[in-house]
Amino acid sequence: MKTIGKLAKELDLGVETIRFYEREGLIKQPQKPQNGYRVYDDSITKQLQFICKAKALGFTLKEVASLMSMDGDCAKVESLGLQKLSLIQSKIADLQRLEVVIKEMTNSCRNNNDQSHCPIIDSLK
Amino acid sequence: MKTIGKLAKELDLGVETIRFYEREGLIKQPQKPQNGYRVYDDSITKQLQFICKAKALGFTLKEVASLMSMDGDCAKVESLGLQKLSLIQSKIADLQRLEVVIKEMTNSCRNNNDQSHCPIIDSLK
DNA sequence: ATTGACTCCGTACCTATCTACGGAGTTTAC
DNA sequence: GTAAACTCCGTAGATAGGTACGGAGTCAAT
């Protein structure tokens, strides 16, 4: 049993972040004894780690909430995962196209001898 | 010479967006005749197109402002381009790592026979 | 001359994910 | 026993890049 501050330190989260997740419905408010302080048991740690990991995979907090509420329905979870996968793949493709364009631009800059004129600026005009 | 509405339509931007760019210092307020309406000449069109293109390449509005003020200093422009390039490359790398993880997860979901248990959820726990 | 479309300005609102603040009550350490 | 550290709550602020609104003035067409 620990208060919110210890929990936050343990997970390297801010106290405010935990309260925020509670407000957003990702975790529920634990029972509070007479003094009004939140008191958590160990199960909250797993829940918050789940949230952090899913967030790191690119799920939004709303999606994390969905994932948690789907609890075990593998087909639904897979579908959300596939959806996220295709989003990631199209982001990668977008960025790779950008990469090519910017590479070309900086290359042309490097080969440029005319100091009064920048090919990047020109190409954007 | 055109008013803000025509300009916005021509470039497929919102009127508010143009005013916003003005407030942010990306373009300057044109001279206004007695009636107080902004009146633009053709040079603004190029400036706004420059902004749109640079934005599409992933430059933030602040960076676009920088680019415009560097006007022609090729070394500076190249350096900003290279910086953006490396940002893009690291984003790509991040997303590719994510892609692998999520692929693995959805695959294990697909091969899962135990309806009461989802390997994605499990792996996040 | 009237109606509808356009413009002005400042400000509030939007998404997402927190982060900070203020003032009051509580617990802990010395 | 008192001072520091912790907690409570609700609300405001931050970020980026706009979008929307309200009331008032102006312009174009009929």
CA neighbours closer than 13 Å in the CB half-sphere of residue A24: 15
- Residue A65 CA and nucleotide C1 C1' are separated, in Å, by 61
A39: which strand partners? A3
The pLDDT value recorded for residue A10 is: 95
Has the ipTM of the complex gone over 0.85?
no
- C-alpha of A29 from chain center: 23
Q: pLDDT tens, B3-31?
A: 999 999 999 999 999 999 999 999 999 99
- C-alpha of A22 from chain center: 17
Q: How many CB atoms lie within 10 A of CB A29?
A: 9
Pairing of strands A2-3, A39-40: antiparallel
- Cβ-proximal residues to A5 (8 Å cutoff; 6+ apart), any chain: A15
DSSP 8-state class, residue B40: B
Q: In this structure, what token pair is assigned to residue A46?
A: 């797993």
Interhelix angle B74-110/B61-70, rounded to 10 degrees, is: 150
Q: pLDDT tens, A49-79?
A: 999 999 998 899 999 999 888 877 888 889 9
The pLDDT value recorded for residue A63 is: 92
The pLDDT value recorded for residue A124 is: 73
Would you state the torsion angle of the CA atoms of residues B94, A89, B79, B29, taken in this order, to the nearest 10 degrees? -120
Answer yes or no: do A57 and B120 touch at CB < 8 A. no
The pLDDT value recorded for residue B9 is: 95
- Per the CB < 8 A criterion, the answer to whether B55 and A125 are in contact is no
- Enumerate the residues of chain A whose CB falls inside 8 A of the CB of residue B121: 67, 70-72, 77
The pLDDT value recorded for residue B124 is: 72
- Residue A97 CA and nucleotide D8 C1' are separated, in Å, by 50
Angle (CA) B44-B48-B54 rounded to 5° is 145
Which residue positions in chain A have pLDDT lower than 70? 125
Q: Give me the sign of the Cα torsion angle A5, A8, A11, A12.
A: negative
- Per the CB < 8 A criterion, the answer to whether A118 and B77 are in contact is yes
- Residue B3 CA and nucleotide D28 C1' are separated, in Å, by 14
Q: Which residue is nearest to nucleotide D5 (CA to C1')?
A: A5
**CA A102, CA A91: separation in Å to the nearest integer?**
16
- Enumerate the residues of chain A whose CB falls inside 8 A of the CB of residue B125: 46, 49-50
What is the Cα gyration radius of chain B?
23
- Per the CB < 8 A criterion, the answer to whether B116 and A70 are in contact is no
- Per the CB < 8 A criterion, the answer to whether A61 and A50 are in contact is no
The pLDDT value recorded for residue A20 is: 97
- Cβ-proximal residues to B103 (8 Å cutoff; 6+ apart), any chain: A85
Which residue positions in chain B have pLDDT lower than 50? none
